[in-house]
Amino acid sequence: MKRICIITGASSGMGREFTRELFINSDKYNFGKIDEIWILARRIDRLTEIQFDLSLIAEKNTSKEYPRIIPIEANLSGRAGVNAVKALLNTEKMTEEKDGGFEIALLINNAGFGTYGEFLNTPVEKELDMIDLNCTSLTGITGIALPFMNRGCTILNMASLAAFIPLGNFAVYAATKSYVLSFSVALAAELKEKGIYVTAVCPGSVSTEFANVASNGARKEVLNGKSAVKTVLHALKSASKRRVIALWAFKWKFNAFMSRFIGRFAGARFTYKYAKRPCRY
């Protein structure tokens, strides 16, 4: 049976790092053998560039067997995105039926984005697009992937440190990530007897393109961002150890712990007044 890993939002940032690490070192983790890594995103040029770069690594080390990288151009947003992935899986099912079928060894729901600024001043269409991608797509892709998962398979959902408390100037994003965290923990509980594992990754600021997208170009880089590579390594190690929540940096762990003692309105009000984020709409 062929075993595949699916990574959404793989064209940059942590998605790219997940792809690279699993291509080179998948045998170091507790996910079993991975035959193919499907990398999904809108920017096919970025995906093919990643595929090419990794092929050069494989060419230099012919003594090792590497997974096959499959770049797939896809707009994953909303129900249409879920249906697109569903069609891919159904096609694969028909193709592999004669050869013993396939299973999804690892699903990494990484696709998502945020928006900076007050909700009143943020385009409603962009906020709805964010909900579609961060919540609807993640939920739907998880749902259609589960029938192809067996005991020992793993789901890794990208939540956020923002999931632990409502945030002013970040209202919808924090709400979507709170949903992802809640959904992931509940799903982990439901799937425990089936031997399918779920990990919610809850990073704080990471050095990716996130700030540039969230601010619509007003802030080019994430302030005080942690290493995307280290965040990904910790996420994979946590998932490999079957942890339900992955929190890496001490500062992130501390903030998540302290959120238990801060009133939800007080936290939202404080961040609204003192944690302004630049945006351009």
Output the domain CATH number for residue 111.
Answer: 3.40.50.720
Residue 98 has pLDDT above 80, yes or no: no
**Is there a domain that residue 177 lies in?**
yes
Could you tell me if residue 281 is inside a domain?
A: no
- Give the range among 87-96, 149-158, 244-253 with minimum mean pLDDT: 87-96
In a domain, 51, yes or no: yes
Please determine, for residue 94, whether its predicted confidence score (pLDDT) is greater than 90. no
User: For the residues 203-219, what does the mean pLDDT come to?
Assistant: 90
**Into how many domains does the chain fold?**
1
Q: Does the residue 101 lie in any domain?
A: yes
Amino acid at 124: V
Residue 219 within any structural domain of the chain: yes
The pLDDT of 120-131, averaged and rounded, is 96
Instruction: State the pLDDT at residue 197.
Output: 98
Q: What is the mean predicted confidence (pLDDT) over 200-206?
A: 96
pLDDT of residue 75: 96
Asked whether residue 96 carries a pLDDT value surpassing 90, the answer given is: no
Stretch 214-230: mean pLDDT, rounded? Answer: 89
Summary mean pLDDT of the chain: 95
Strands 2-8 and 102-109, by their bridges, are parallel
pTM score: 0.95
The percentage of residues in the chain with a pLDDT greater than 90, rounded to a whole number, is 88
Q: Where does the pLDDT of residue 264 fall: very low under 50, low under 70, confident under 90, or very high at 90 and above?
A: very high
H/E segment holding residue 40: strand 36-41
254 occurs within a structural domain? yes
Residue 224 scores a pLDDT above 90: no
Which of these ranges, 34-43, 130-139, 199-208, 209-218, has the smallest mean pLDDT?
209-218
CA distances from 89 to 97, 148, 188, 234 (A): 12, 9, 23, 29
249 occurs within a structural domain: yes
Range of the domain at 248: 2-274
Q: Answer whether residue 92 is part of any domain.
A: yes
